[in-house]
Chains A and B, each alone.
Chain A
Amino acid sequence: GAVVSQHPSRVICKSGTSVKIECRSLDFQATTMFWYRQFPKQSLMLMATSNEGSKATYEQGVEKDKFLINHASLTLSTLTVTSAHPEDSSFYICSALTGEAEAFFGQGTRLTVV
C-alpha cells in the first residue's frame, strides 16, 4: 500500500511552547489529508481536513487557532499545536487519500506536554 510518513513519532514539550508535526505522502500525491486525535483506548477523532492550496476545514469544537494546519504541497501537511498545554497531550495521526477512498495513515505522533 501507499506510504505515509509522520514525524516526529514522539515529542515532549514544555507548557506554552508550540510543536509542529509533519505528514508526508512518500509515493503518491495527496490533495486531501486528514488529522486525527486519539485518546487511550478510544477511536480516532477527526480534527480537520487539510486540502492542498486552501484553508483546512475544522470539525466542530476544534480550535483552529490552536491547531494550525498547513498543506503547502501535494505531499506535505503540517499540524502545529500552538501554546500547548497538558490537556493537549495525546496521540495525533494523519492520513492521506489516494484515489477515491483508500486512506493510509502515518505512524502517529505521541505528544506529551509537561
Chain B
Amino acid sequence: QKEVEQDPGPLSVPEGAIVSLNCTYSNSAFQYFMWYRQYSRKGPELLMYTYSSGNKEDGRFTAQVDKSSKYISLFIRDSQPSDSATYLCASRGTGRRALTFGSGTRLQVQP
C-alpha cells in the first residue's frame, strides 16, 4: 500500500464548477500536508500548505485535513480553464524531511 493514495483521474468539469480533489494517507506520523499544481513539463507549484488538522483558505482554493480519517482535500471554487493541470498532494512527518507524494490527479476544466 502506498503511503499517500490519490485518484489519478482524469477529472473533467465545466468552467465555474466546484472541484474536489482528495487523497488518503496511511502514516499516522504525517503532520505537514501540501497541495501542488503541476503543468505539463513544468516543476510543481506550491498551492497550499497545512500543518496538522484543519482548514485553510486562499482565494478560490480551500485545503482540508482530517487526521482522524487520514483524509486530505483540496477544493477549487469557480474553476477556470487555466486550472487545468495535475494536482499532487504531499505529506511528511516531523522526522524525515522529504515529502511523500500522491500519484497526482489530472484536472481538465472545459470552457
Whether chains A and B associate is yes
Enumerate chain A interface residues (CB-CB to B < 8 A): 1, 4, 6, 32, 34, 41-44, 46, 49, 91, 93, 95, 97, 100-108, 110
The residue that A43 contacts in the complex, of B41, B42, B88, B98, with Cβ under 8 A, is: B88
Q: What is the CA–CA distance of A95 and B44 in the complex, to the nearest angstrom?
A: 9
Residues of A contacting B34 with CB < 8 Å? 101-103
Q: Is the CB of B44 within 8 A of A44?
A: yes
Decide: A32 near B97, CB < 8 A? Known: A42-B103, A103-B34.
yes
The residue that B41 contacts in the complex, of A91, A97, A105, with Cβ under 8 A, is: A91
Q: Is the CB of B98 within 8 A of A102?
A: no
Decide: A108 near B42, CB < 8 A? Known: A32-B97, A43-B101, A44-B101.
yes
Question: Which of the listed residues A4, A91, A93, A101 has the most CB atoms from chain B within 10 Å of its own CB?
Answer: A101
Q: What is the CA–CA distance of A106 and B44 in the complex, to the nearest angstrom?
A: 8
Q: DSSP majority for the B interface?
A: strand
Query: Any chain A CB within 8 A of the CB of B17?
Result: no
Residues of B contacting A106 with CB < 8 Å? 43
Q: Is the CB of B103 within 8 A of A101?
A: no
What sequence of 0s and 1s flags, for each residue 93-111 of chain B, a beta carbon within 8 Å of any chain A beta carbon?
0000111011110100000
Across chains A and B, the number of contacting residue pairs, with CB separation under 8 Å, is 55
What sequence of 0s and 1s flags, for each residue 20-43 of chain B, a beta carbon within 8 Å of any chain A beta carbon?
000000000000101010000111
Residues of A contacting B49 with CB < 8 Å? 101-102
Q: Is the CB of A43 within 8 A of B103?
A: yes
Cβ distance B7 to chain A, nearest Cβ, rounded Å? 12
Cβ distance A92 to chain B, nearest Cβ, rounded Å? 10
Contacts A103-B34, A103-B90 known; 10 new A-B pairs at CB < 8 A: A4-B43, A6-B43, A41-B106, A42-B104, A43-B101, A95-B99, A100-B32, A101-B49, A101-B97, A103-B99
Q: What is the CA–CA distance of A34 and B101 in the complex, to the nearest angstrom?
A: 13
